[in-house]
Amino acid sequence: MGLGSDVVLTSVIRITRNLKGYPFPGWSTAESRDAVVTALLPVVRLMRGYRNGCELDMSELSYEQRCALLERKLLTPCMAARGAGCRVVLSPKKQTVFMLNEEEHLVAHCFSCSYQDALSAASRLLRELEAASKDIPWAFDPEMGYLSSLPSEAGDGIQFSQVLHLPGLQLAGMMEAVSRAMDKLHVTMGPFYADGNEGTGNTYIFSSVPGPLDSRSEIAQYFGEVMSRMELRELQVRCQLQENDLPRLCDSIGRAYGLLRHAHRLSLRELRDALSLLILATQLGHVEWTPLLPSEVVAQLGELVHCFSVEAALGGDAQEEALSLKRAMTMRSWLSNRPHHFSTLYD
């Protein structure tokens, strides 16, 4: 596992289409939503890999199920709030999800850790969608492109996103500068976790601004280059912290490790921030795990973050005290049961 393999957590390609002659979901009726599902669900089922895909009716999902899918990013916040007349179809490996009657009539998300793999999956999906929907009257304007519920997003109907883990830039106090740079580069940026805790876990989502018709390849290349520079900058800053500001780096990861090793209460924010620094410490060699590989440790820590996030969403404020105790106990046990050596590498 390379030093930077925890920087890019996932890449997401979002594809949107709308039917001609039907109101957008935000202005729809029960009848129009049912009509959209009737028209588009057979199209999705015709596509390779979706004949046996998992189909979910939003009106039949419990609050707990919605929260779990939302935390796994298999639903958008908008879709998680939908009800009757809204459907979700998951590919068998859950690497692609179709949402019917989200903000748009049809939304597809392609996921991959590799940006190039996500682009390849999106290209295949677009070809299959075009073949399966050749008789579908999409809302399309020859000059503006595919129409959207937001007029400013009309065009190719595709958006590129990446989720980045940036503890080095956060420790160096550079996130405000990063935000200003993204504005100039026409890339949007925001916290990954949609629970009001800005920057929790040092994890951010970056997205391209939708472009005009026939701009897909140019925007894909441009966005990929911007994100590659962001990944490289994070790695450079980590090295600079090691070389030029080791006391502050060691203090931060030492405090995070001590919190996880000995705390008896952990808020979700504390947990995410501390686990982020434990991952950073693993990548920089401050924690050595035996016999686990760093990649295995990072994967397990990421799964813990997901599980704790789902529990917090389901439990709400009423169960926060019990959850804070459980988080701390789980982390103490997790660390105790995995042989490791912690060192700040600083005297």
pLDDT tier for residue 302 given thresholds of 50, 70 and 90: confident
pLDDT tens-digit readout, 119-137: 999 999 999 999 999 999 9
Q: Is the pLDDT of residue 321 over 90?
A: yes
Question: Which contacts qualify for 190-196: CB closer than 8 Å, 24 or more apart?
Answer: 192/163, 193/272, 193/309, 194/70, 194/77, 195/268, 195/309, 195/312, 195/313
pLDDT tier for residue 53 given thresholds of 50, 70 and 90: confident
Domain made up of 19-138: CATH architecture = 2-Layer Sandwich (3.30)
Q: Which residue has the tokens 């959850």?
A: 323
pLDDT at 196: 55
pLDDT tier for residue 221 given thresholds of 50, 70 and 90: very high
Q: Is the pLDDT of residue 347 over 60?
A: no
H/E element, 17: strand 8-17
pLDDT at 7: 93
Q: Give the domain ranges of the chain.
A: 1-11+151-243, 19-138, 246-342
The whole-angstrom separation of Cα 265 and Cα 273 is 14
Structure-block tokens of residue 44: 């999705």
How large is the average pLDDT for residues 216-227? 95
pLDDT tier for residue 4 given thresholds of 50, 70 and 90: very low
pLDDT at 315: 74
More confident residue, 12 or 215: 12
Candidates 218, 222, 230, 224; CA nearest to 181 is: 230
Q: Is the pLDDT of residue 1 over 50?
A: no
Structure-block tokens of residue 221: 């290349």
pLDDT tens-digit readout, 175-205: 999 999 999 999 999 998 766 556 688 999 9
Share of the chain above pLDDT 90, in %: 68
pLDDT at 19: 96
pLDDT tier for residue 212 given thresholds of 50, 70 and 90: confident
Measured over the CA atoms of residue 157, residue 57, residue 70 and residue 232, the dihedral's sign is: negative
Averaged pLDDT of the chain: 90
pLDDT tier for residue 2 given thresholds of 50, 70 and 90: very low
pLDDT tier for residue 322 given thresholds of 50, 70 and 90: very high
Q: Is the pLDDT of residue 244 over 90?
A: yes
DSSP 57-77: EGGG--HHHHHHHHHTTSS-H
pLDDT tier for residue 77 given thresholds of 50, 70 and 90: confident
pLDDT at 71: 77
Tell me what percent of the chain is helix, strand and coil, each rounded to the nearest 5.
Answer: 50, 20, 30
pLDDT at 336: 95
20 touches 140 (CB < 8 A): yes
pLDDT tier for residue 52 given thresholds of 50, 70 and 90: confident
